[in-house]
Amino acid sequence: MIDSRFKLIQRYEIDYSDFERFVQEKYPFLKGWEFVAATECSNDSSLTFQVGKYHWQKSLNIHDQKNWDLANSTSDISNYKISANDIFTKLFQDGHIPAGEYLVNVSW
């Protein structure tokens, strides 16, 4: 029997490169966006994202929405910091993913 301090969690899991491709399929203007650079994570790591759980996760705030709109209107997104959290929020907001916990695995 496992200790009661452990809990079983259901979550969605994806490799970072598959996530990048998924993001670029849904938002072509984000071509060149890189998960590892945006999150500043290291090799052999995993990052967890809560999506749509809290009211503030259901849409981008005014600043992030403005940044998103500016990035969407240009061919060079390098001047705009689009975070992984913003992308998960936007994917949820636009109906591309359901609310839940997401684990992104990084290994190259």
How far from chain centre, in Å, is Cα 13? Answer: 12
Question: pLDDT tens-digit profile of 67-105?
Answer: 888 888 887 776 568 899 999 999 999 999 999 999 999
Q: Take residue 29 and report the two structure tokens written for it.
A: 């203007």
What are the backbone angles phi and psi of residue 21, rounded to the nearest 5°? Answer: -65, -40
CB 44 within 8 A of CB 76: no
Q: Global pTM? A: 0.86
Closest C-alpha to 51, from 1, 96, 98 = 98
Q: What is the predicted pLDDT for the residue at 74?
A: 82
Distance CA 61, CA 93 (A): 12
Residue entry with tokens 């981008």: 60
Res 31 pLDDT > 70: yes
